[in-house]
Amino acid sequence: MAIAPIGIFGGAFAPFHNGHLRLALEAMDRLQLSQVRLIPTAHPAHRPDSRVSPQKRLEWVRRAVAKEKGLIADDREIKREGPSYTIDTLAELKKWRPRTPLVLLLGADAFAHFHTWHRWREILDLAHLAVVSRPGSALLPPVEADILAERHADSVEALRAVPAGLWLELPLPLLEISSSRIRRLLRTGHSVRGLVPDAILDALTPQDLQALTDQDDQSKH
């Protein structure tokens, strides 16, 4: 019997919101994943660290998925020193579960710049890519990532037939929610109920709110 793949979903999660939650649940169902590991980025190489501590963002993810079977908050990037590179995270996971296929979940915007990722070719040696897109939209791999042109899987079954190296388009009805919009609403004193899991909202402290609203000021410098 084939081993069910594990999904990998990383991000700043500042804050983790219902769009993230729904995407993880939909991907787990559509791709027949045994679990999805939600991994807050600690020290992204391509942008400044979040004003919200990695430990706090991990706590939010844990609260949000506490009752969701198969969704797991993963702290490996927080525990690892140095820049948070996807290749290092996948290598750790492959060492932990060498026979289990890995599926990296990413959005269409990230896919368009995949060729700029650290050691991106080696990522394909360790995992498949599932690229989340809007239904009806056209999705093409970046021309700079020439090897992706011949590695397109046209079905979940094709993706599961080999251990790594393919990419699959995953059209999902995405919720119109973004972390930046949530931070703007918080900064102007508006409610974000329905956008963020109640388990997170009910635990927000004044310090958390300050860190979130300071996040966008940081990005302007």
Pick the closest to residue 124 from 151, 106, 99 (CA basis). 151
What length does the chain have? 221
User: In this structure, how many other beta carbons lie within 10 angstroms of the beta carbon of residue 139?
Assistant: 16
pLDDT at 129 over 50: yes
Name the CATH superfamily housing domain 6-176.
HUPs (3.40.50.620)
**Helix pair angle (18-30, 54-65), 10° resolution:** 60
Q: What is the pLDDT of residue 221?
A: 29
Measured CA to CA, the distance from residue 101 to residue 126 in angstroms comes to 8
Amino acid, res. 159:
L
Distance (Å, whole) CA 88 – CA 171: 28
Question: Bigger pLDDT: 219 or 137?
Answer: 137
pTM over 0.85: yes
Indicate whether 13 pLDDT > 90: yes
